[in-house]
Amino acid sequence: MPNTSKKTLISGVKPTGRPHIGNYFGAMKQFVDLQDSGKYDCRIFIADYHGLNLIQDAEEMRRLTLDLALDYIAIGLDPKKTSIFKQSDVPAHTELCWIFDTIVTMPYLMRAHAFKDAEAKDKEINVGTFNYPVLMAADILLYDADVVPVGQDQKQHIEYARDIALKFDNIFRSETFKLPTDLIMESVAVVPGTDGRKMSKSYGNTIPLFATREEITKAVMSIVTDSSGDVPVNVYNIHRLFRPESELRPLYEANKGKYANLKKALVEDIDAFIKPMRERRAELADDPKKVMRILKKGAKAANKAAAKKLEAVKKAIGVI
């Protein structure tokens, strides 16, 4: 798989539950687009050890991990093009994290946004959450990643990875690490939810990505429409994601004020879009062993690359 003319791309996703179409258009789809661009050697992993800070129930962890793998394969991550693996299957991540822990200071980690946010909420923060950026630096630096596609909120974590790489090489007078750059995924737009606000799990205004036709119908029928205009703006703004505006304009023109017709058309379009992914996901879900094999294969490739880098690190620090 490694191809020297290509850049190395890595990203991790925490297993957090059922995605919605806002997550898809705003974030998930971009991994598939980057993979299909052919410009990168891609590694995408399930950040289960990062997730462990929140998910502390074995059954839930297993279910969410499998779900996430199914989601990504169903939307088009192709195990032949992208190595997909679980972070916990590659022990070098946590081993390198410990090594970094010995050179990263507490005040430096206290300046991290995520830590400050958690502290502002007055929570008792566990050590794993405090140390989150160090494990993430290890995730990235182990693979000599050139680019790390992430959302804006993760930008600081990539800067931390760079800082940690420089600090390590400075202390141990080595040239062990490559400096990664972030690839900020600017979502095309903020996908609106059924109430016109940003689609978000926390607002309960979502259309699930792998929704059944019934679920799609229910969500679309609940879209809040404003009776003052001809065009139901909230319906239109979601519809735009599924059909070019050049086709939508005549449709909305011909159905002025006929909201029920427009909602029906939207149900058809969303269902036509989701159906193949939903079917692929269901097929895969029937064969979880196949998914596990994909993850194991990804882990094998990741372990190989990670072991090589860890050996260089161990030499640099003098434990071998």
Which residue carries 């519809």 as its tokens? 239
Nearer to ligand TRP, 157 or 281 (CB): 157
Of 104, 140, 219, 274, the one binding ligand TRP by CB under 6 A = 140
**Beta carbon of residue 232, minimum distance to ligand TRP (angstroms, whole number):** 34
Nearer to ligand TRP, 139 or 271 (CB): 139
Using CB under 6 A as the criterion, what x/- string covers residues 20-59 for binding ligand TRP? Answer: ---------------------------x--x---------
Tokens of 82: 């992208």
C-alpha closest to that of 185 among 13, 1, 7, 4: 13
End-to-end Cα, the chain, rounded Å: 29
Q: Is 234 in the site for ligand ADP (CB under 6 A)?
A: no
**Beta carbon of residue 123, minimum distance to ligand TRP (angstroms, whole number):** 17
Tokens of 131: 């140390």
Helices (DSSP H) in 83-231: which residue ranges?
Answer: 92-101, 106-110, 113-120, 127-130, 132-141, 155-171, 213-221
In the window 254-313, what residues touch ligand TRP (CB under 6 A)? Answer: none
With a CB cutoff of 8 Å and minimum separation 6, the contacts of 18 are 67, 208, 209, 210
146 HSE (CA, 13 A, CB side): 10
Q: Which residues contact ligand TRP by CB under 6 A?
A: 10-12, 14, 47, 50, 136, 139-140, 148, 150, 154, 157
Q: Which residues contact ligand ADP by CB under 6 A?
A: 16, 22-23, 26-27, 151, 187, 190-191, 198-202
